[in-house]
């Protein structure tokens, strides 16, 4: 009696251990994943990112954003890179992406170079993760070791792109819940929002904030209105910098701007509006190094969102289509 309950206990415990092992080994990313299969990976990607940013500084911002929009839709699996097929609609025409995300040609070019160096080895999802890090570093931000071993999806979801990526009209509580739905903390969300220290937004994304919000510096709103007409449909694609001070330098001015009520998006200013995010914004405005270390940790957390690993998914040959 005692021995049989002991042995059934032992069976249950070892099965649970086995399950845990299988689960964790299938979800394991590592920084040295390609060290023997593709030793030239990092230098190949870095030179592609460097030349794209040399040609156009804004591209660093666009490439960083691609990784975010990939990871928030069924994990960091390269789904955003897929074109439409007869089986599914891609994510490129989803509301947060259409006429907005850019950099696909740069990724194609880098993928081609990587395929030349190590054919059929490196996923498009991992290329996006490395490209995001390199962009931040090249524009003066922090460095970190990128975890790798993701595989590419064989499908995409326009509806998940629409549902999961928060719009610029979001309230603080909406932002918190959209990030929480991805397993990211409020702290991660506030640190990741600092990505808006680089890049640009279209008038259509900030029109309501500069005309209708009261939580904005008056002269800043007035300046932005000059190139963003109030009438919907006119000047929708006119651009303004997300960080009015230094939109091609990865620094902590994004947070300093929020404190003086010069956030460009409604969602940006929500992080400093007398609410629960204020103290973290203040700490990043006061300490760039605190921002940098929290941003790095949050990028790693975002990169961990439900990767395809092991024999799941595939290594795409062309990032735009499944093999
Ligand atoms: C917190 C919620 C977020 C919201 C509501 C948001 C919203 C937006 C919007 C509306 C734009 C301008 C798009 C356009 O008008 O074409 C934008 C641009 C950008 N976003 Fe975010 N974003 C968020 C978080 C993030 C995160 C987590 C990252 C990366 C870690 C990121 C990186 C960027 C970058 C770099 C740009 C500029 C892109 C370029 O110049 O091409 N954003 N974002
Ligand atoms: C992809 O499919 C969607 C939905 O059918 C369509 O609106 C969009 O124009 C297509 N995009 C391209 C590039 O063909
Ligand atoms: C569509 O799905 C079917 C069945 O899974 C598959 O055989 C076919 O290759 C897919 N077509 C495309 C264009 O992805
Ligand atoms: C501002 O708010 C008013 C009232 O809700 C609305 O009619 C108008 O379209 C808004 N304007 C902009 C630029 O968002």
Task: Give how far Cα 13 sits from Cα of 4, 84, 127, Å.
Answer: 14, 46, 39
Q: Which of 142, 152, 73, 155 is nearest to 300 (CA)?
A: 142
192 shares its domain with 143: no
188 shares its domain with 150: no
Q: Is 106 in the pocket of ligand 1 (CB under 6 A)?
A: no
Q: Quick one: which atom of ligand 3 is closest to the CA of 86?
A: 13
Structural domains in the chain (count): 2
Asked if 122 and 130 count as a contact pair (C-beta separation under 8 A), the reply is: no
pLDDT tens-digit readout, 151-185: 999 999 999 999 999 999 999 999 999 999 999 99
212 shares its domain with 113: no
Q: How many Å is the Cα radius of gyration of the chain?
A: 21
Partner residues linked to 240 by β-bridges: 201
Closest protein CA for atom 5 of ligand 3: 87
Residue 262 falls within a domain, yes or no? yes
Q: How far is the CA of 144 from the centre of ligand 4 (A)?
A: 43
Residues of the chain with pLDDT under 50: 1-4, 6, 9, 11-13, 15-26
Query: Which residue shows structure tokens 């962009």?
Result: 135
Closest protein CA for atom 1 of ligand 3: 87
Q: Is 158 annotated as a binding residue?
A: no
* Cα–Cα distance measured from residue 300 to residue 307, given in angstroms and rounded to the nearest whole number: 12
197 φ/ψ sector (left φ>0, alpha ψ -120 to 50, else beta): alpha
Residue 268 falls within a domain, yes or no? yes
Asked if 216 and 207 count as a contact pair (C-beta separation under 8 A), the reply is: no
Q: Is 300 in the pocket of ligand 1 (CB under 6 A)?
A: no
pLDDT (0 to 100) of residue 7: 53
Number of the ligand closest to the Cα of 86: 3
Q: How far is the CA of 196 from the centre of ligand 1 (A)?
A: 6
**Annotation says 69 is catalytic:** yes
Residue 12 falls within a domain, yes or no? no
81 shares its domain with 183: no
> Residues lining ligand 4, CB < 6 A?
207-208, 211-212, 230
204 shares its domain with 264: yes
Average pLDDT, the chain: 94
pLDDT (0 to 100) of residue 28: 87
pLDDT (0 to 100) of residue 318: 98
Structure tokens at 24: 């964790």
Q: Quick one: which atom of ligand 3 is closest to the CA of 322?
A: 14
Q: How many CA atoms lie within 13 A of 142 on its CB side?
A: 21
Element (H or E) spanning 241, and its range? Answer: strand 239-241
* Cα–Cα distance measured from residue 293 to residue 163, given in angstroms and rounded to the nearest whole number: 29
Q: Is 243 annotated as a binding residue?
A: yes
157 shares its domain with 194: no
Count the neighbouring beta carbons within 10 Å of the beta carbon of residue 226. 10
- The CATH number covering residue 190 comes to 1.10.420.10
Q: Which residue among 65, 69, 92, 256 is the active-site one? A: 69
- The CATH number covering residue 130 comes to 1.10.520.10
Per the structure, the complete domain to which residue 270 belongs is given by 172-301
239 shares its domain with 219: yes
Q: Quick one: which atom of ligand 3 is closest to the CA of 88?
A: 14
pLDDT (0 to 100) of residue 242: 98
100 shares its domain with 195: no
Q: How far is the CA of 167 from the centre of ligand 4 (A)?
A: 17
């Amino acid at each position: 009696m005692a021995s049989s309950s002991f042995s059934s206990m032992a069976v249950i415990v070892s099965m649970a251990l086995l399950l845990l092992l299988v689960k964790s080994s299938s979800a394991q990313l590592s920084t040295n994943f390609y060290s023997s299969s593709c030793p030239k990976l990092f230098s190949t990607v870095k030179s592609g990112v460097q030349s794209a940013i040399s040609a156009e500084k804004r591209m660093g911002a666009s490439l960083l954003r691609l990784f975010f929009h990939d990871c928030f839709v069924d994990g960091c699996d390269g789904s955003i890179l897929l074109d439409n097929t007869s089986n599914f609609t891609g994510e490129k025409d989803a509301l947060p992406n259409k006429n907005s995300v850019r950099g696909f040609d740069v990724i194609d070019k880098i993928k081609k170079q990587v395929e030349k160096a190590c054919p059929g080895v490196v996923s498009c999802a991992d290329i996006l993760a490395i490209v995001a890090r390199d962009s931040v570093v090249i524009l003066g931000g922090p460095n970190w070791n990128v975890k790798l071993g993701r595989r590419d999806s064989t499908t995409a979801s326009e509806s998940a792109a629409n549902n999961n990526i928060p719009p610029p009209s979001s309230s603080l509580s909406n932002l918190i819940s959209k990030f929480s739905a991805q397993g990211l903390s409020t702290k991660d969300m506030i640190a990741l929002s600092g990505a808006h220290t680089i890049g640009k937004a279209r008038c259509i994304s900030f029109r309501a904030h500069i005309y209708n919000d009261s939580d904005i510096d008056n002269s800043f709103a007035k300046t932005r209105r000059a190139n963003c007409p109030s009438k919907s449909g006119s000047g929708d694609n006119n651009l303004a910098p997300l960080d009015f001070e230094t939109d091609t330098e990865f620094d902590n001015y994004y947070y300093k701007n929020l404190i003086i009520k010069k956030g460009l998006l409604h969602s940006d200013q929500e992080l400093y509006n007398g609410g629960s995010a204020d103290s973290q914004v203040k700490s990043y405005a006061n300490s760039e190094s605190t921002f940098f270390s929290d941003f790095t940790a949050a990028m790693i957390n975002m990169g961990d969102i439900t990767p395809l690993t092991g024999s799941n998914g595939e290594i795409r040959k062309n990032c735009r289509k499944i093999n």
